[in-house]
Amino acid sequence: MIRRRVTILGSTGSVGCSTLDLMDQAETAGSGAFEVEVLTGGANVARLVEQARRWKPRLAVIADEAQLSELRDALAGTGVEAAAGEAAIVEAATRSVDWIMAAIVGSAGLRSAWAAAATGATLALANKESLVCCGPALLERVKRSGGRVIPVDSEHSAIFQVFPHDAPEQVARLVLTASGGPFRRATRAEMAGITPEQAVAHPNWSMGAKISVDSATMANKGLEAIEAAYLFDVPAQRIDIVVHPESIIHSLVEYVDGSTLAQMGPPDMKTPIACALAWPDRLAWPAPRLDLAALGRLTFEAPDEERFPALKLARQALVAGGAAPIVFNAANEVAALAFLDRRLSFLNIASVVADTLSSVTAPGVDSGSDGACDAALAVDAQARRAANGIIRDLAAAA
């Protein structure tokens, strides 16, 4: 029986809800028992209230301060304390627990992940943007606190499960699989008219809006290559990407002797979350099971960096190092949200990222420094301003 006292940052999102759902199923299956310290949401107060009533955390925090009184009223008499605002989320992340899920989307999740990294808890890291912005410093901070990071992103969970942690020199190459997203076969001309509705309709995975757009542009795989380089300390030249539309093989580790180990499963985020929740144990829950005979075959193809330039830009940012990954992440986030708001066309997402990367010069972040998070957020803010300016210029020219 797995017992854990847990905090979930971003509990109202796709990963957050899947985490609670899985905890519920594990409790029903008799394989887990969970006490919740903190739940946090961004703006969906109704969902946060529903979760708080079910799980009775010590504290529920909503990022949107305008909704504090609604949260407080709805939780009156339940014994659950209510709070609001970013500072309250960061404070909540410092509380002592066994396990913290960092599932806030975007660089908004960086400060709380940074706070969680110093607690000594196991940090289940879904917020890939914080790794991309601050990876080496964040990992160092977790190590110093006596905690550990368990990746939640399905590709990194896969690599984590087959990686020789005690002998990393045995690794020749990491291979990240990519579904290719909803526009795998689209020409550049067809991509010109893509709408937000089309972009968020992912063929295999059900996810939040921002990561769905990232999957459609394949910026997500670019972010994941950077994430993998930091998590497993493997250079860009030894990280490859292969498109695998069925999303059954979640990633692979090639060893120096030519042997390659892969992790497989139906595409359901609850499986990597379960892995993070119980590691090094395994959590029994009624998971969807792999039926290879029913699948018949698995297919693979090389990624196309011409149609998906975000892949190339991410690799260049990783190789350039310094602040470039932070700039890539910030520009991509601003551009993806502008696309969702219909202020930017699909094809211009990557153009904005490219132009921001070439216009912003900023110092890198010292990975051993306690100020690394602040330094990364300063670069993030600078890159956001530049990206927003580029988007405004594009709109004015149109």
Would you tell me which residues interact with Mg ion (CB under 5 A)?
153-155
Stretch of 206-214, 257-265, 274-282, 358-366 lying at the interface with ligand NAD (CB under 6 A): 206-214
Q: Is residue 265 within 8 Å of 250, Cβ to Cβ?
A: yes
Q: Which of 4, 128, 221, 244 binds ligand NAD (CB under 6 A)?
A: 128
Q: Which is nearer to ligand NAD, 355 or 383 (CB)?
A: 383
Say whether residue 67 binds ligand NAD (CB under 6 A): no
* Beta strands 249-255 and 260-264, pairing class: antiparallel
Give the pair of three-digit tokens for residue 397. Answer: 């020219």
Residues 25-64 interacting with ligand NAD (rule: CB under 6 A): 41-44, 63
Give the pair of three-digit tokens for residue 133. Answer: 């912005």
Q: Which is nearer to ligand NAD, 41 or 182 (CB)?
A: 41
**Looking at beta carbons, which pairs linking 204-209 to residues 24 or more positions away fall under 8 Å?**
204/179, 204/245, 204/246, 204/247, 204/267, 205/179, 205/247, 205/267, 205/269, 206/14, 207/14, 207/269, 208/13, 208/14, 208/15, 208/105, 209/340
The partner in contact with residue 126, picked from Mg ion, ligand NAD, none with C-beta cut-offs of 5 to 8 angstroms by kind, is: ligand NAD
Q: What number of other Cβ atoms are within 10 A of residue 167's Cβ?
A: 10
Query: What is the smallest separation between the CB atom of 316 and Mg ion, expressed in angstroms?
Result: 20
CA within 13 Å, CB half, 275: 23
Say whether residue 153 binds ligand NAD (CB under 6 A): yes
Q: What number of other Cβ atoms are within 10 A of residue 70's Cβ?
A: 17
- Separation CA 240–CA 302 (nearest Å): 10
Q: Which is nearer to ligand NAD, 16 or 180 (CB)?
A: 16
Q: Which is nearer to ligand NAD, 128 or 221 (CB)?
A: 128
Q: Is residue 182 within 8 Å of 195, Cβ to Cβ?
A: no
Say whether residue 196 binds ligand NAD (CB under 6 A): no
Q: Which residue in 344, 267, 357, 342 sits closest to 310, CA to CA?
A: 357
Query: What is the smallest separation between the CB atom of 137 and ligand NAD, expressed in angstroms?
Result: 18
Tokens 């975007």, located at residue: 106
Report the residue number whose CB is nearest to ligand NAD.
Answer: 13
Query: What is the smallest separation between the CB atom of 339 and Mg ion, expressed in angstroms?
Result: 19
Instruction: Examine residue 280 and say whether the peptide bond preceding it is cis (omega within 30 degrees of 0).
Output: yes
Say whether residue 380 binds ligand NAD (CB under 6 A): no
Q: What number of other Cβ atoms are within 10 A of residue 274's Cβ?
A: 26
Q: Which is nearer to ligand NAD, 179 or 355 (CB)?
A: 179
Tokens 């490859």, located at residue: 240
| E-assigned strand segments in 244-297 | 249-255, 260-264
The partner in contact with residue 207, picked from ligand NAD, Mg ion, none with C-beta cut-offs of 5 to 8 angstroms by kind, is: ligand NAD
- Separation CA 132–CA 318 (nearest Å): 9
Q: How far is CA 92 from the centre of its chain?
A: 20
Say whether residue 247 binds ligand NAD (CB under 6 A): no
Say whether residue 221 binds ligand NAD (CB under 6 A): no
What is the pattern of x (binds ligand NAD, CB under 6 A) and - over residues 72-111? -----------------x-------------xxx--x---
Residues 262-321 interacting with ligand NAD (rule: CB under 6 A): 269
Q: Which of 4, 7, 13, 308 binds ligand NAD (CB under 6 A)?
A: 13
Q: Which is nearer to Mg ion, 147 or 181 (CB)?
A: 181
Q: Which is nearer to Mg ion, 90 or 317 (CB)?
A: 317
DSSP state of 299: -
Say whether residue 325 binds ligand NAD (CB under 6 A): no
- Separation CA 241–CA 220 (nearest Å): 12
The partner in contact with residue 334, picked from ligand NAD, Mg ion, none with C-beta cut-offs of 5 to 8 angstroms by kind, is: none
Contact residues for ligand NAD, defined by CB under 6 A: 10, 12-16, 41-44, 63, 89, 103-105, 108, 126-129, 153, 205, 207-208, 211, 269
